[in-house]
């Protein structure tokens, strides 16, 4: 099977269920942004594999990557595809919340915004966080016209918080100085 089909040369693509839409459709923008997030999350796991004591975070991110594929599929559902993709289980949101709470208990409290950076894995957490925020906005735009799965939207919202706390947790683990924003 060839990777190219020439079907998209006119700017159209197919959603799950066969509906043809422009590549600028809100759903395509949303799942494309989650796909971008997936690639950067994979890069984050590659960077983490170079660091000692990060195995549990890599395992957690591998589960998250699998869930991202489900979110992409949920965002790619067309008119006839609603029964072709199983929604995320509500426990996926609970799992993110538990991970966030765990990491938050392992870092010092802060009262100021933090400036990203200090180490490539910390910076990559912030790249993932900002792409995730954009993916959430794109999903919300798509939801205005199409009925987007509510669990997928909530999951994206929690995931951006997860990436923020992961970055903070890794500053502690990797002994990186966390810089508060002082205007």
Residues listed for the chain? 183
| pLDDT, tens digit (0-9, with 9 covering 90-100), for 33-90 | 999 999 999 999 999 999 999 999 999 999 999 999 999 999 999 888 888 899 999 9
- Give CA torsion, residues 56, 30, 32, 1, to 10 deg: 110
Residue 170 has pLDDT above 90, yes or no: yes
**Do 156 and 139 meet the contact criterion of CB atoms below 8 Å apart?**
yes
Distances (CA, A) of 146 to 37, 102, 124, 139, 162: 22, 35, 32, 10, 27
pLDDT tens-digit readout, 10-40:
899 999 999 899 999 999 999 999 999 999 9
| Separation between Cα atoms, residue 168 and residue 174, nearest integer Å | 10
pTM across the whole model: 0.94
Q: What does the pLDDT read at residue 43?
A: 98
Write out pLDDT tens, residues 123-159.
999 999 999 999 999 999 999 999 999 999 999 999 9
Q: Distance (Å, rounded) from C-alpha 23 to C-alpha 37? A: 18
């Amino acid at each position: 099977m060839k990777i190219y089909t020439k079907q998209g040369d006119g700017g159209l693509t197919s959603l799950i269920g066969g509906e043809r839409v422009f590549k600028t459709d809100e759903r395509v923008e949303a799942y494309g942004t989650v796909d971008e997030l997936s690639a950067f999350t994979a890069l984050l796991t590659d960077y983490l594999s170079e660091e000692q004591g990060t195995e549990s975070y890599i395992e957690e991110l591998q589960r998250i990557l699998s869930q991202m594929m489900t979110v992409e599929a949920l965002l790619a559902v067309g008119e006839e595809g609603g029964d072709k993709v199983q929604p995320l289980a509500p426990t996926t949101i609970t799992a993110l919340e538990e991970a966030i709470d765990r990491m938050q208990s392992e870092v010092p409290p802060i009262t100021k915004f933090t400036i990203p950076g200090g180490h490539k894995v910390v910076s990559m957490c912030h790249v993932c966080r900002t792409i995730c925020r954009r993916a959430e906005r794109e999903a919300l735009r798509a939801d205005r016209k199409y009925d987007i799965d509510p669990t997928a939207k909530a999951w994206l919202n929690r995931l951006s918080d997860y990436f923020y706390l992961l970055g903070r947790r890794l500053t502690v683990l990797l002994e990186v100085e966390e810089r508060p924003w002082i205007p």
